[in-house]
Amino acid sequence: MSVAKTISNQIENIESGILFSYQDFKVAPNNMGAVAVAFSRLASKGIIKRFGRGKYFKPQVGKFGEVPLRESQIIESIINDNGNLTAYLTGSAAYNQMGLTTQMSNEYTIATHEFRKPYQKGRVKVRFVKAYVDITELNIPLLQILDAIKDIRNITGTETNKAIELLKIKIDKLSLSEQKRLAQLALNYPPSTRALTGAILELLNNEKASKKLYKSLNYLSKYMIGVNEKVLPNKTKWKIG
C-alpha cells in the first residue's frame, strides 16, 4: 500500500477536531517526505486543515458551520511540541483544576524555559512565564503546587488563608518521596515560596524536607504573605507575616 493511501486510511479513523502531526503516523522514517506530500494534498482538498507548523486537524462542521478547535486541544499543542514536553499549564486555569479557585481567566498561563511572545489563536489567549526547573510528567503536579504557593496572594477568587488550607491538604496527600521531591524543587523558587513550602511541610511532620528549606533562607529576611496564625502556627519561626 502506498504511503499516501496509508495516511489517508489512518486519517479516516481520527476524530474531527483533534490535532495531529507527522509523528503520529506509523511510517518508516525514510518515508516522512512522502507523508508531508500526502498531508499537503489532503489539505488542498479540504479533508484536513493546517493548524501550525507540522500540525493538522480534520475540520468539524456543525449546524452553523465549522466548529472551532477545542481550547484544550490548542493548549495541548503548545505544551507538547510534536511529542516533546516543553511547557506546562499554570496560573488560573491550573489553580481551577486543582480546586483552589472556581474562577477562570480569559487568558491561559503556560510556564516554559524558552522566551515566547504572547500567543492568540481565535478566542484563546496565552501568556508565557518562567519555568524554574526541568519540566517532566512527574514534576508538573509538584510544580503547579509550588506555582500556587508562589502566587498565593494573587489567586483570583480565593482568600490567601483559604488557599493555604487547601494546599496543606493537597501536600498532605503526597507520598513522602513526593514531599521530598517537592522540597528539592522548591529550592529553585523565590525565598518566600521556599519559606511557605517549608512551613507547610514542617506542620505535616516532614522535618527532613522542611529543614533543608529552612537552611536555604536568609535568617534576616521576612516574608509578608498575610497568613493567619491559626492556619500556620509556625509562621513566626519561618519569618512569615
> CATH number, domain at 33?
1.10.10.10
| Whole-number Å distance between alpha carbons of 194 and 189 | 6
Which positions ≥6 away from 151 have C-beta within 8 Å? 91, 95
Residue type for position 153 = R
Together in a domain, 13 and 78: no
Count Cα atoms within 13 angstroms, Cβ side, for 180.
4
Considering the domain boundaries, does residue 225 fall inside one? no
Average of per-residue pLDDT across 138-142: 96
Together in a domain, 77 and 106: yes
Together in a domain, 109 and 188: yes
State percent of the chain over pLDDT 70.
95
Considering the domain boundaries, does residue 144 fall inside one? yes
| pLDDT tier, 82 (very low <50, low <70, confident <90, very high otherwise) | low
Collapse the DSSP code of 207 into the 3-class scheme (helix H, G, I; strand E, B; otherwise coil) and give the result.
Answer: helix
Last residue in a domain, options 32, 67, 102:
67
pLDDT of 171 strictly over 90? yes
Average of per-residue pLDDT across 185-190: 97
Residue 55: per-residue pLDDT: 81
Considering the domain boundaries, does residue 145 fall inside one? yes
Residue 7: per-residue pLDDT: 77
Answer for the pair 39, 56: CB distance below 8 angstroms, yes or no.
yes
Residue 122: per-residue pLDDT: 76
Together in a domain, 35 and 81: no
DSSP summary character for residue 128: E
Angle of CA points 197, 199, 201, to nearest 5°: 70
Q: What's the domain count of the chain?
A: 2
Considering the domain boundaries, does residue 109 fall inside one? yes
Together in a domain, 61 and 113: no
Q: C-alpha cell of 196?
A: 511557605
Together in a domain, 49 and 80: no
Average of per-residue pLDDT across 143-153: 97
| DSSP-based helix, strand, coil % in the chain, nearest 5 | 45, 15, 40
| Whole-number Å distance between alpha carbons of 45 and 116 | 33
Together in a domain, 119 and 105: yes
Considering the domain boundaries, does residue 21 fall inside one? yes
| Whole-number Å distance between alpha carbons of 160 and 176 | 26
| Whole-number Å distance between alpha carbons of 182 and 219 | 22
| Whole-number Å distance between alpha carbons of 98 and 107 | 17
Residue 1: per-residue pLDDT: 59
Answer for the pair 82, 54: CB distance below 8 angstroms, yes or no.
yes
Return the residue matching grid coordinates 489517508: 8
Together in a domain, 23 and 116: no
Average of per-residue pLDDT across 92-110: 91
Considering the domain boundaries, does residue 150 fall inside one? yes
| pLDDT tens track for 8-62 | 787 778 877 777 777 777 766 666 777 778 777 888 888 877 887 778 777 877 7
Together in a domain, 200 and 110: yes
Together in a domain, 158 and 133: yes
Residue 131: per-residue pLDDT: 95
Together in a domain, 20 and 127: no
Together in a domain, 62 and 75: no
Burial of 115 (C-beta count, 10 Å sphere; 0-12/13-18/19+):
exposed
Range of the domain at 52: 3-67
| Whole-number Å distance between alpha carbons of 210 and 9 | 55
Q: C-alpha cell of 141?
A: 503536579
Considering the domain boundaries, does residue 227 fall inside one? no
State percent of the chain over pLDDT 90.
55
Last residue in a domain, options 67, 102, 117:
67
| pLDDT tens track for 191-237 | 999 999 999 999 999 999 999 999 999 989 999 999 999 999 999 99
Give the largest CA-CA distance in the chain: 72
